[in-house]
Structure 1
Amino acid sequence: MRTTGRGSSGPRTRRTTVTSRARQGLADGGRRGSVRHAELANCVEGGRICRVQQRRGMIVNSLSLCYHNKLILAPMVRVGTLPMRLLALDYGADIVYCEELIDLKMLQCKRVVNEALSTVDFVAPDDRVVFRTCEREQNKVVFQMGGMGAALLSDPDKIEKILSTLVKGTHRPVTCKIRILPSLEDTLSLVKRIERTGIAAIAVHGRKREERPQHPVSCEAIKAIAETLSIPVIANGGSHDHIQGYLDIEDFRRATAASSVMVARAAMWNPSIFLKEGPRPLEEVMQKYIRYAVQYDNHYTNTKYCLCQMLREQLESPQGRLLHAAQSSQEICEAFGLGAFYEETTRELDARRAKLLARSPEEAEGPVEDTSGIIKMAIKFDRVGQGQSSGLTGPASWLVQRPLDRLFCSVVTVAEQKYQSTLWDKSKKLAEQAAAIVCLRSQGLPEGRLGEESPSLHKRKREALDQDPGDPRTQEPAMPGELCKKPFVALASGQESPLEGWMAVGAEHQPDAIGQFSAPAGQELRGSGLGQQPGARAEGCPECPISLSGSKQRS
């Protein structure tokens, strides 16, 4: 069972008198008998009429968000982030649910107004954005919070206690989402108890807990629930069997006698399914999604995941292979012909951030030396975006653990200068890596990001042709911009490191104190790691090992 509450505050509502004739006209399309022992009060919201349920003379936890006759984007893990929600709203969805979030994680978050993006962010202690919203989805987004899955279905007492507490403790409309139980009698008994808590609506996924998408959805069970309850019932689960286009959504609603329909996988595959005119071409939809992802600084791994769900069987196409190989937002944009858009948007965001930082110099991202002589920066080590090979041996370092959340912060000393990241990390190793990057960045050295010299250097998932020189396939032109996925770097002769004394002198590669790998001075350094020097040349190598931070794998 999942509980939900509307994610943003809306305008004040004003109740008006309801005539007997108006009571007969139900908001779910005029169907009579589906809302028993209930009255529908009109709610004036921004000049438009919204019906709000009323029982026994009291408003049933509903403000301006109405769940009658709505097209709804379902909550989906890793899919229901801000870009997908905005895209669904553009294509005609009335309400959008965010991905399910764990309540404990939200309790640890800090609410941050992000002026650069014009968003409100809930940021975890490790500096990761857990939930991001903006004004565009105000009064239309539902914040989905719970304990994951259908575990509570076997504990109706706890369900009733949780929902009753939520309804009494907030003025926001509260809904819940359930699956059906093995028997219809048990299901109807459960939903009656849920209705008595005073929730605004209930979403029903017409499958049992153990059933998967390939199992048929039970329209009969949803219909029985809709005919039993007096609150709106939202039908869910029809993407595989029933919903292929916009008109199918209404057919599914009628088959289930529900008030509204919640669409999950069909919308994940193509969010334009909410359009009355019919779905838009997939490439157009994906480009629009990418634009939102870049504008709102969505992490590239989440962007890539959602785009892969849209491509589905086309993942083996040339564009699908480019997407699968992409290791940054820039490469995703380039794969879809949006490279210029990425550069322009990035420049605008950087300029906006610089303007804000100039207004608040204490929050500047550049190196700042405090009174203790420690150079500090807000750096988070990205275990995906950083290489693990280096030509620099480990500096002296020490760690501090914060008792409250058990996070770590490291200070490294190089040439009698101390460096520290102001961001804390749950990993000792990554905290040390972040401090090392502060040192490199303050010295103006490459910090070891994969593909730092060229975006195509780190396409490590791309399959290279390892064939004999005589093989005719080796004569075919490579994919544009593609280089060897296993590059190495050779230092130019006579080149000296600005951090002299950090270079290893041994005859073999040695792991250093912070998990990097160093090489003898003047010899080749494999990978694009922290030790890569300005002016170094990159060459293709069929045998060079590259591993990511925290891993001993070879690519």
Structure 2
Amino acid sequence: MSGSDASTKDNCFGNCVILAPMVRISKLPMRLLALDYGADFVFTEEIIDRRLMSCSVTRNEALSCFDFREPDHTLVLRIHDREKDKLLVQIGTASSENALKAAKIVENYCFGVDINMGCPKSFSTTGGMGAALLKKPQIVEQILTTLVKNCSVKITCKIRLIPNLEDGLQFMRMIESCGVNAVTVHGRFQSERPKDQVHLDLIKLYAAEVKIPVIANGLAGTRESLGEFLTLEKVKNETGCDSLMVARNAMWNCSVFKIIRKLKNLQSEHFSVSTVDEKTQVAKKLLKYCVTFDFPVQYFKYAVQNSIGDHPIVDKVRNTTLMSEVCAQFDLEEFYRSELLKISLTMESPLQKKPKLEPNGIEDDRNVIMFSYPFEYNKYRKVITVPPKTLLSEFFNKPLFKNCEVKPRFETTPFQDSRWKCVCYLSERRAFLSTYCERNKKHAEQGAAAVALIGMGMMDHRLDMIYRNEPTLSHLMTRPHFSLKGDSDQATELSSFRYEDQIDLKTRLTVHDSVLEWFA
């Protein structure tokens, strides 16, 4: 595309409301939520060019996504099929060569590529990226021209104001001459922060200098007030821009996109944000996306703390370490369990390329017991103070097994998303494993040990802790004496069984005669 081609407005970026690229925020759950509420386009957070260049792309059929992973299988980017025509991937770069290589990795999975020239943070500028590029127009021209000539997707960039006005206007003309489809202008200088007043007059001068679409950014209000820029008409009148990019307002309350869509005329100078109760409903929707697309609890905690602020539910979430505990605060326990099972059953090993973890050396399938048992440590320790591995080890130290020489052995295997599965071998004759993928090796081993304890009838469990009815399990239960596939009355009685009603587990370890025969 030549500079003259860019002289016509690109209609796809006109009259739009867009989710901004925000570090630790603009990940898949937030992007999908923004689309739900009416965003026209969504941006990823900034991804450094070299990081994208190192990624391999795999199809995640279970989630209807494409996953971009580093060589150690760390997830860098997850793109859902639904957002492909609405997504722009923002790249941090200081090299036209690296920018093109990174763009080529993602161009088949997104609508466009954006170059970050506005981030004022040191982690970006020290590498010559972000706002540091505002002082290097020749490099910017090389990057943008290279991408426009060699990429099949839309190319945009995001900048900040430049101290010298004429230099800023010249910078805008240079960007337009490269043939990009749009440019976003954040209305503050590199040295300024959100608390500083946005320069509406300068944004307007920048927008008037070019004919390509200009997107206004930096117009947010506060956590308590969304501010005055809640209609595109207001944005156009005050800034001369074609569209609005929303950052902090969306972080505080993603339903702002719906408000902008519906609000035609402002009734007052400022429009109050939704109440905290409504914000919790927005947070609940975000949480469901986090669970469905297997995002870690840390991501949701960061997002909800920035969104809701001071509120009892935030204090409770802040003190949790498990996604199951967070879901309990939002009455999503059943949703969490059902989604967790789907993820666990479809998880594949990137190393072994097998859909399941299979015990080695166990010839008879009847000697293998497996089911999904997520080891939720905080919940477990409230009931039983001794970890499953310790219980298992102490059990086989009993005189009962003096001549059997049974020593539990654990074999862990890494799965995608830095998860782990584990097999617990007992004297190489029996194998126990949980089909649930844990976030770390220690929890995977504890989960396998718990399966062994349950499988040998040494530990009671509730029906809601088992996600699959295993016929191999029912005849091994010592207490309560119910089949997992029994009638509904039995299932109800089993599901209401409470560990707290039992004597301390360590004082009542028992074993079937059949278990003794395993190791005779």
**What TM-score do you get using the length of structure 1 for normalisation?**
0.57
Partner of 1:128: 74
Partner of 1:73: 19
- Say yes or no: does 1:299 pair with 2:296: yes
Task: Give the deviation of 1:78 after TM superposition.
Answer: 0.6
Q: Using a 3 Å threshold, how does the CA distance of structure 1 residues 435 and 217 change in structure 2: closer, same or farther?
A: closer
Cα offsets for 1:322-373 (capped at 9, x unmatched): 111121221111111222221232234445x17x89xx995134254399xx
Task: Give the deviation of 1:127 after TM superposition.
Answer: 2.2
CA distance in 2, matches of 1:419, 1:243: 53
Matches within 5 A, 1:140-289: 140-147=86-93, 148=124, 149-240=130-221, 243-244=226-227, 247-275=230-258, 276-277=261-262, 281-289=278-286
Instruction: Describe the SS at the equivalent of 2:188.
Output: coil
- Say yes or no: does 1:115 pair with 2:96: no
Instruction: Describe the SS at the equivalent of 1:247.
Output: coil
Instruction: Describe the SS at the equivalent of 2:35.
Output: helix
More strand by share: 1
- Say yes or no: does 1:492 pair with 2:506: yes
Matches within 5 A, 1:19-98: 56=4, 58=5, 66-98=12-44
Paired residue type of 1:331: E
**What TM-score do you get using the length of structure 2 for normalisation?**
0.60
Instruction: Describe the SS at the equivalent of 1:267.
Output: helix
Instruction: Describe the SS at the equivalent of 1:297.
Output: coil
CA distance in 2, matches of 1:211, 1:160: 25
Task: Give the deviation of 1:129 after TM superposition.
Answer: 1.5
Partner of 2:103: none
Aligned length: 364
**Structure 1 unaligned regions, length at least 5:** 1-52, 372-381, 393-413, 427-432, 448-452, 455-489, 497-555
More helix by share: 2
Paired residue type of 2:214: V
Contact 2:9 2:212 in 1 (8 A): no
Contact 1:206 1:218 in 2 (8 A): yes
Task: Give the deviation of 1:252 after TM superposition.
Answer: 2.7
Q: Using a 3 Å threshold, how does the CA distance of structure 1 residues 420 and 346 change in structure 2: closer, same or farther?
A: closer
Partner of 1:37: none
Partner of 1:49: none
CA distance in 2, matches of 1:361, 1:104: 27
Task: Give the deviation of 1:66 after TM superposition.
Answer: 1.3
Task: Give the deviation of 1:283 after TM superposition.
Answer: 2.0
CA distance in 1, matches of 2:445, 2:32: 39
Contact 1:67 1:259 in 2 (8 A): yes
| Pairing partner for 1:346 from 335, 340, 343 | 340
CA distance in 1, matches of 2:229, 2:82: 23
Task: Give the deviation of 1:125 after TM superposition.
Answer: 2.2
Report % sequence identity: 34
**Structure 2 unaligned regions, length at least 5:** 94-123, 125-129, 264-272, 363-374, 391-405, 419-438, 454-460, 463-503, 511-520
CA distance in 2, matches of 1:135, 1:445: 37
Q: Using a 3 Å threshold, how does the CA distance of structure 1 residues 435 and 302 change in structure 2: closer, same or farther?
A: closer
Paired residue type of 2:314: G
Partner of 1:538: none
CA RMSD of aligned residues (A): 4.3
Paired residue type of 2:33: L
Q: Using a 3 Å threshold, how does the CA distance of structure 1 residues 55 and 304 change in structure 2: closer, same or farther?
A: same
Instruction: Describe the SS at the equivalent of 2:162.
Output: coil
Q: Using a 3 Å threshold, how does the CA distance of structure 1 residues 234 and 282 change in structure 2: closer, same or farther?
A: same
Partner of 1:321: 315
Cα offsets for 1:415-450 (capped at 9, x unmatched): 797946456999xxxxxx977777666655799xxx
CA distance in 2, matches of 1:269, 1:161: 37
Task: Give the deviation of 1:177 after TM superposition.
Answer: 0.4
Task: Give the deviation of 1:232 after TM superposition.
Answer: 0.7
Instruction: Describe the SS at the equivalent of 2:212.
Output: coil
| Pairing partner for 1:336 from 330, 338, 360 | 330
Task: Give the deviation of 1:258 after TM superposition.
Answer: 0.3
Cα offsets for 1:96-123 (capped at 9, x unmatched): 1111111111111111111111111111
Task: Give the deviation of 1:201 after TM superposition.
Answer: 0.6
CA distance in 2, matches of 1:211, 1:175: 23
